[in-house]
A = this chain, B = another copy of it.
Amino acid sequence: MAGRRANQVRIYDVAKVAGVSIATASKALNDTGRMADATRERVKQAAADLGFRPNAMARALISQRSFTIGLLTNDTYGRFTLPVMAGVSEALVDEGVSVFLCTIEDDPALGKVHVDAMLSKQVDGIIASGKRIDRRLPVDLSNLPVPVLYAFTDGPEEAVTLVSDDAQGSREAVEWLVGLGRRRIVHVTGPDTFASVQERAGAFRSVVGTAGRVLFGSWSEAWGHEAVGQLWNEGGDAPDAIFCGNDQIARGVVDALRERGIVVPGEVSVVGFDNWELMAAATRPPLTTVDMNLKELGREAGRLILALAEGAPVEPGIRKLPCQLVIRQSCGGGLRG
């Protein structure tokens, strides 16, 4: 038991090699305190020679800062969480902060275990993230001794919450279609129980008028397929553009149109949502789609949780981060501008 790790160098060793006390060594390495420049250099050189790496645990014990944060998510598949995670990590790595990733699959017990573990390990803050912005994680994060931030998941009013601005993204998409001269635009989207579905549909109607047609269904390719069947079988003027609730639906729509011999984007323009690369790029033609900028959302989450951890005042409430329309070939129109 115990017994130092094989080649673990302590500050004690650095001090001995440099011929100073550990107090001096500490100050030299942290650029604090007063001492002769020569001494400081000598200590730094010794530390470099020995490959000294300060024990973050010992440091954390004193400073009450572990330089560690926890990322909690119930998005097992990771399509939304991964970009967020990448952003968080990117924003924090320069500050020396590491991220614990905990996946809890809608299991409250598991959630509690992970939160307890994180708190035990003295995380400086927790970011809660999910796959739906209108659902909470199955775990109670109120009254924790550390700051909590909600990113792409629902949080209490008094908390800081980061979400993508779906309405703005949707407006941009629909306005793009209108700008291309499309007039008979239909919105084919997911289940109307999702807040994001409501928000995107609302934005859609705000552009095309309240009579704008919206078809609710599921998030699947199959639904996109089926919707095209409905729309084209009912007679009357067929749509000349379809704004889809996500890329899977869009892919189903594009495939169904092709099967019917309808040319995309020649006769019908299609826009997706999510910019899920593997889906959007593999569709023929590649999808023009709305990117929620989740990585940037993650970066912002990282910056904010750090500010909170340092005790900086952060205005609570919901912050909507802008989406961006990514132009590919499913609408025509070429480069934007």
Binding site for B on A (CB under 8 A): 1-8, 53-58, 60-64, 66-68, 76-78, 82, 85-86, 89, 93, 96, 98-103, 110, 113-114, 116-122, 145-146, 220-222, 248, 255, 277-278, 282, 284
Contacts and interface: CB of A to CB of B under 8 A. Distances in A.
A118 B67 CA distance: 11
B93 A57 contact: no
Contacts of A93: 110, 113-114, 117
Contacts of A248: 278, 282
Given A4-B64, A98-B117, A99-B102, 19 more contacts: A2-B64, A3-B64, A6-B145, A7-B145, A53-B116, A53-B119, A56-B120, A56-B122, A57-B60, A57-B61, A67-B121, A85-B101, A93-B110, A96-B117, A98-B100, A98-B118, A101-B101, A221-B282, A255-B255
A206 to B, nearest CB: 31
Contacts of A119: 53
A2 B117 CA distance: 22
Identical subunits present: 2
A255 B221 CA distance: 13
Contacts of A98: 100, 102, 114, 117-118, 121
Contact of A56 (B58, B113, B121): B121
Given A57-B122, A64-B4, A117-B93, A100 B102 contact: no
Nearest to A93: B113
A27 to B, nearest CB: 16
Task: For the complex of A and B, list the 10 residue pairs with the smallest distance between their C-beta atoms, beginning with the closest.
Answer: A101-B101, A78-B82, A56-B120, A56-B121, A57-B57, A221-B282, A57-B60, A98-B100, A5-B145, A78-B78
A42 B57 CA distance: 31
Contacts of A96: 117, 120
Contact of A82 (B61, B77, B86, B113): B77
Given A57-B57, A61-B61, A82-B82, A100 B103 contact: no
Contacts of A110: 93
Contact of A103 (B1, B62, B85, B116): B85
